[in-house]
Structure 1
Amino acid sequence: MTTPRKHPFSIGRRSALALALALAAAAVTSNTAWAQAFPNKPIRLLVGYSAGGGVDAMARLIAPRMSTLLGEQVVVDNRTGAAGLIAGDATARAAPDGYTLMLGDSSLLIAQHLQARMSFDPVKSFTPVAGVFTLPLVIVVNNDVPAKTPAEFVKLLKDNPGRYSYATSGVGTVHHLGFEMLKGKAGTFVVHIPYRGASQIVPDVMSGQVPIGVVSATAAIAQAKAGKLRALAVMNPVKLAGGEDIAPLSDALPGFSAVPRLYVLAPAGTPAAIVEKLSDTLRKVMEAPDIAQIAAQQGAVPAYMPAGPLTADIVRESAEWGKVIREQKITAGQ
C-alpha cells in the first residue's frame, strides 16, 4: 500500500496553529512597540466651534496638559461650521494613527437623525477615546412664572398645554431635544422658539418676552443670583458649583437626564494600544486637583469615561436622541 505523499509546502494542524499564534504575538508586540513610540510628532485636536466658546475653552484646558504628559504638543485646531460637522468630517477622513483627534459633543449624535445626508457616521466613523466633560443645562423662567420647583413646573405645563413657549440656542441642540424630551414625558405641548444663544435668550426671559429658556449653567446662575430670573431646574442629576440649590428635573420626572457631553474621538481603525495610551493620558488630566474649579468657570463638570464604556454609551445616547426626534416629530426646519 502506497503512503500518500504530502505536498512539499503543506503543514500540519499543529504547525499551522503554532504559526497563527506566532503571528498574533508578533502583531501584539508590534502594536505595543508602536504605542510606546507614540507620539513622536504633534497631535491635532479638532474643535468644531469657534475660539472662545465653551467647547473650545475645554479643548484649550486639556490640550496643554496632554502635551506635558505625552511629551509632544497637542494643538487645538478650530474647524468651525455646520454645528461641528466640518470638524467631524475632517476627523473621520484622517489617518487612523492617533495624530488627529476631535473634541466631539452630543450634537454629532443628534445631527445624524436630522440631516438628510452626512459624509460620516457619528457612531461608526470614529473610535471613542475618552469622555471628558458634561455641560449641564438649566431651565430658567421669568420671575412671574408661578412655578418654583421642578414638580410645580411640570404640573404647570401639563395643566396649560400650548400656553407657554420656551427658547433654546437652536434646532437640534441638546437644549432643544432635552426640553422636547420633557414635553414627551410630561405629556404636554410647549412652543419652541429657536434663538442664536444664551446672550439673546437671557434678556428676553428676564423681560418676559419669552417665559422659559434653556441655557448653560454659567448663564443661568449669574442672573439667578442677581434676582433677574429664576433658575428652576438643572436638566441632569448633578450639583452645580455655585448653584447647589438648583434642583434636578429628575425630582419631578424620575430618571430624566439631558446634558451635552464632550468626548475625545479618533478616526475609526486607530490601533487599540494608541487609544488606550490616549485614554489613560486623559484620565490623568481629568484627575488634576484644579480641573473641576477651572471647568466650572465655563459651566462644565469633569466626567471622565474610558474608551470601552464610552463606546457603548455613545450608541445608547444616539438611539435615545433618535427616539425623541421620532416621537416629537422634529425636523431640521423646526
Structure 2
Amino acid sequence: MKFLHRPIRRRWLAALALASTLAPSVTWAQPDYPSRPIRLLVGYSAGGGVDGAARLLANQLSQQLGQPVVVENRAGATGQIAADAVAKAAPDGYTLLVGESALMIARALQPAQSVDPLTAFTPVAGLFVAPLVIISSGDFPARTPAELVRELKKNPGKLSYATSGVGTVHHMGFEMLKQETNTFALHVPYRGASQIVPDVISGQVQLGVVSVTAAAAQAKTGRVRALALMSRAPVAGAENIRPLADAVPGFNVEPRLFMLAPAGTPAAITARLSAAIKTALEQPETARGALAQGLPISFLNPQQAQQAMKEEGTHWLRVVRERKMTPEGR
C-alpha cells in the first residue's frame, strides 16, 4: 500500500469502499427469477399419486410464478432416476423434484446406490401426505382389513402384491404388514398405478398398493375393491375405507411429498419458490383438487421440510435395521 501515490491511493480506497457497499446486492440479487419455464420432475409414471399431486400443484404454481411449470415423468428405480437428474442439474431453480419418502427409504436400504436426499437437495417445501390403499379385484374373498389378514394367513406364498417399485413406501408398508402378521405374499414391482390396476383387475396379481386417488376412482366402478388404508387418519372422500390398524393395532404408514431443488440453490430462489408454493396450496382450486385426489395438504417451509426429511430418514433406517429388511423385502 505504501508504494501507491497519494491521489491514486485515495481513488483506489474509494473504489474499494464502493465495491464493498455494492457486493451484497450483487451476491444476493436474482435477476427476474423465474424468467423461463420450470421443469418439475416426477420419479413415477403418469396416473399415480405422486404424478397427480405434481400436476395439481404445477397448475397453480405456474400462475403464482408467471411462468409455465412443466411436469416431466422419469419413472424407474423407485424414483432414483428423477432424483439423480435433479441432483445433477444446475442449482438455478429451473429444475425441481417432487420427491417423497421413498428417497429416505432408498438411502436406508441401499446407501451406496442411492442419492442422499439430505445432501443432494435443498428442501423447498413440504407439499402433501399421500395415503395408500391395498386393493384387490372385485371377486377377492376379503372385504375388510381383518379378512385381508385372514386370507394372507390362509394362503401362505400363494398370493402376490404389486407396488410401484422396490423400496417405495408402498413396498415397505406391505412388508411391515407381513412381518406384523407373520404372513407371506410375493412382491411384484411395477412402474406405477397405471400398470398395477389393470393387472389387479385381471387377477394377474391378487393385491396392489396404490394411492387413494387410484383406489377410489376404480373402486367406484366396482372393478377393484379398496380393502384397507395403510394410515390411521381418515381421508376425506375415502371415509368408507377402513384402516389396517383395525386388524393390526398401531399400524401406520404414509408417504410425505416434498419439493426439492439441487443442493446449492440460492436462498433467495428457495424463498421465492416456497412462498409461491404456500400461496398455491392455499388456493380454493388446490383444496378442491387435493380433496378429489385424497391428498391432505401439509405445507412445510424449507426449515421444517428439512427437519421432516431428517426424521423420516432416522425412522426408516431404524425400521430397516430392526426388521432386517433388504431391497428384495426378505
TM-score normalized by the length of structure 2: 0.76
- Cα-to-partner distance string for 1:151-191 (whole Å, 9 max, x where unaligned): 4544665687656543333322221111112233x241222
2:183 aligned residue: 189
1:250 aligned residue: 245
Question: 1:38 and 1:237 mapped to 2: Cα distance?
Answer: 44
Q: CA deviation at 1:102?
A: 1.6
Matched, 1:171 2:147: no
Q: Is the 8 A contact 2:44 2:79 kept in 1?
A: no
- Paired letter, 1:274: I
Question: 1:333 and 1:250 mapped to 2: Cα distance?
Answer: 21
Question: 1:265 and 1:97 mapped to 2: Cα distance?
Answer: 12
Q: Unaligned stretches of 5+ in structure 2?
A: 1-19
- Paired letter, 1:70: L
- Cα-to-partner distance string for 1:210-249 (whole Å, 9 max, x where unaligned): 4433222233224433444432211123434442211222
Cα distance change, pair 98–152 in 1 and its aligned pair in 2 (3 A)? same
Cα distance change, pair 175–119 in 1 and its aligned pair in 2 (3 A)? closer
Question: 1:319 and 1:120 mapped to 2: Cα distance?
Answer: 16
SS in 2 for 1:39: coil
Q: RMSD of the TM alignment (CA)? A: 3.6
Question: 1:86 and 1:27 mapped to 2: Cα distance?
Answer: 41
Which residue among 40, 52, 75 is the counterpart of 2:46? 52
Cα distance change, pair 43–238 in 1 and its aligned pair in 2 (3 A)? farther
1:104 aligned residue: 99
Question: 1:140 and 1:232 mapped to 2: Cα distance?
Answer: 5
Question: 1:136 and 1:99 mapped to 2: Cα distance?
Answer: 29
Matched, 1:284 2:279: yes
Q: How does 1:259-270 map to 2 (within 5 A)?
A: 259-270=254-265
Matched, 1:91 2:106: no
- Paired letter, 1:93: K
Question: 1:133 and 1:145 mapped to 2: Cα distance?
Answer: 31
- Paired letter, 2:326: I
Question: 1:77 and 1:144 mapped to 2: Cα distance?
Answer: 36
Q: CA deviation at 1:284?
A: 0.6
Q: How does 1:40-189 map to 2 (within 5 A)?
A: 40-42=34-36, 44-49=38-43, 52-54=46-48, 55-115=50-110, 117-118=112-113, 120-142=115-137, 147-151=142-146, 153-154=148-149, 157=152, 164-184=159-179, 186-189=180-183
- Paired letter, 1:329: M
Q: Is the 8 A contact 2:130 2:211 kept in 1?
A: yes
Question: 1:168 and 1:51 mapped to 2: Cα distance?
Answer: 12
Question: 1:100 and 1:204 mapped to 2: Cα distance?
Answer: 34
Moved more, 264-273 or 296-305: 296-305
Question: 2:67 and 2:203 mapped to 1: Cα distance?
Answer: 51
Q: How does 1:197-216 map to 2 (within 5 A)?
A: 197-199=192-194, 201-202=196-197, 205-206=200-201, 210-216=205-211
SS in 2 for 1:246: coil
Cα distance change, pair 85–209 in 1 and its aligned pair in 2 (3 A)? closer
Cα distance change, pair 125–41 in 1 and its aligned pair in 2 (3 A)? same
Q: Is the 8 A contact 1:105 1:263 kept in 2?
A: yes
TM-score normalized by the length of structure 1: 0.75
Q: Is the 8 A contact 1:139 1:233 kept in 2?
A: yes
Q: CA deviation at 1:29?
A: 5.9
Q: CA deviation at 1:77?
A: 4.3
SS in 2 for 1:304: strand
Q: CA deviation at 1:125?
A: 1.3
- Paired letter, 1:85: Q
Moved more, 122-131 or 300-309: 300-309
Q: How does 1:4-23 map to 2 (within 5 A)?
A: none
Q: Is the 8 A contact 1:166 1:190 kept in 2?
A: no
Q: CA deviation at 1:97?
A: 3.7
Question: 1:91 and 1:200 mapped to 2: Cα distance?
Answer: 25
- Paired letter, 2:255: P
Corresponding residue pairs, total = 308
Moved more, 143-152 or 219-228: 143-152
SS in 2 for 1:124: helix
Q: Is the 8 A contact 1:47 1:80 kept in 2?
A: no
